[in-house]
């Protein structure tokens, strides 16, 4: 296991892992099949695995797998480190990776520890998109469900999980590449569910300094990965509720960032808040929700119905039953999420 220090490289690859000892070997095997590692002209690469709050052998297994994989390459162009954090949380691991482990890298690529690449060109294609188009700040791929239940479980998964982003301007935290200069001014608020939505907003608004520009995020061609979808009813429900909580907390936080980001941007503002008071986010959210019986944004709850506006009548009639069913589920999830936020603010809900 290598020491915690900033590593300089053209590309930094961050693997964020929580109790993934069983899956890390599969990910590392898939990672080193990427064409980027076979290309002699590829940039120098540093791989940082950040186990966080683990109660299994994730760190030890990752160290062994990375040492073996890098050793087989027989090149000094690829280095690695495993930097274990005691505190659990994806935001905590992400902040450490961006601002410490990979602080010397020009481009950053983030992987969840439980994915498998569907294309050997995924990382190379994402990196090429960033190099070719200066407007693009974050390059994503296409998430593919590895297995899908049939019958009523398939229907529940579609309505509940929303696990696959709807379009190329979404960020799926399972995999993306980005310009380090963009991410380096951002800190993810610890405990905030749906970090992907927060990061997306920070990117497309230039840290709440400009109107939304979806072109700052783009999907690379020939880039995809597999993930295991949630299919158990209790998992689907908790995921749906978590998304509703995260969307609501982001909605409350974004109002503050739009109002106060100024010319220096929301990243600096939020970092200063959290440095001065680590409990600032909880205090702010408590203040915003105090005295309000309902905090979940209804525009989000009813979005499937409002999306039908302007749709030709035959098409709207065809889609209406599914939209009504999905909205009913969203409304139930919203009631549960609203209760959770009023009870505990919803921070750290998983």
Buried/exposed code over 237-265 (b: 16+ C-beta within 10 A; e: otherwise): bbbbbbbbbbbbbbbbbbebbeeebeeeb
Phi and psi angles of residue 204, each rounded to the nearest 5 degrees, phi first: -75, -15
Instruction: Give the model's pLDDT for residue 162.
Output: 45
Instruction: Give the model's pLDDT for residue 6.
Output: 63
Instruction: Give the model's pLDDT for residue 43.
Output: 78
8-232: CATH topology is: Spore Coat Polysaccharide Biosynthesis Protein SpsA; Chain A (3.90.550)
Instruction: Give the model's pLDDT for residue 224.
Output: 96
Hey, which residues does 108 pair with through a beta bridge?
Answer: 12, 178
- Residue ranges for the chain with pLDDT beneath 70: 1-8, 41, 147-168
Every domain range in the chain assigned CATH 3.90.550.10:
8-232
Triad 138, 285, 212: Cα angle to 5°: 30
pTM equals 0.90
Instruction: Give the model's pLDDT for residue 231.
Output: 79
């Amino acid at each position: 296991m290598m020491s915690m220090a900033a590593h300089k490289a053209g590309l930094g690859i961050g693997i964020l892992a929580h109790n993934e000892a069983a899956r890390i070997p599969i990910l590392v095997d898939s990672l080193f099949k990427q064409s980027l590692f076979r290309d002699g002209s590829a940039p120098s690469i540093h791989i940082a695995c950040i186990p966080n709050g683990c109660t299994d052998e994730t760190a030890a297994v990752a160290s062994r797998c990375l040492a073996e994989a890098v050793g087989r390459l027989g090149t000094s162009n690829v280095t690695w480190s495993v930097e274990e954090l005691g505190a659990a949380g994806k935001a905590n691991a992400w902040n450490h990776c961006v601002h410490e482990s990979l602080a010397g890298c020009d481009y950053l690529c983030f992987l969840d520890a439980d994915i498998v690449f569907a294309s050997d060109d995924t990382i190379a294609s994402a990196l090429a998109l960033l190099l070719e188009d200066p407007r693009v700040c974050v390059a994503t791929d296409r998430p593919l469900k590895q297995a899908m239940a049939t019958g009523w479980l398939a229907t529940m998964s579609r309505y509940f999980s929303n696990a696959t982003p709807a379009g190329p301007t979404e960020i799926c935290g399972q995999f993306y590449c980005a310009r380090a200069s963009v991410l380096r001014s951002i800190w993810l608020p610890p405990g905030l569910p749906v970090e992907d939505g927060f990061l997306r907003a920070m990117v497309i608004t230039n840290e709440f300094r400009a109107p939304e520009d979806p072109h700052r995020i783009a999907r690379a061609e020939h880039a995809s990965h597999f993930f295991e979808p949630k299919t158990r009813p209790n998992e689907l429900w908790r995921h749906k509720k978590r998304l509703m909580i995260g969307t609501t907390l982001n909605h409350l936080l974004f109002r503050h960032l739009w109002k106060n980001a100024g010319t220096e941007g929301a990243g600096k503002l939020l970092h200063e808040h959290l440095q001065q008071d680590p409990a600032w986010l909880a205090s702010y959210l408590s203040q915003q929700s105090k005295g309000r019986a309902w905090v979940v944004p209804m525009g989000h709850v009813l979005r499937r119905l409002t999306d039908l506006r302007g749709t030709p009548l035959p098409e709207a009639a065809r889609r209406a039953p599914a939209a009504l069913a999905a909205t009913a589920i969203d409304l139930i999830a919203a009631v549960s999420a609203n209760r959770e936020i009023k009870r505990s603010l919803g921070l750290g809900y998983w």
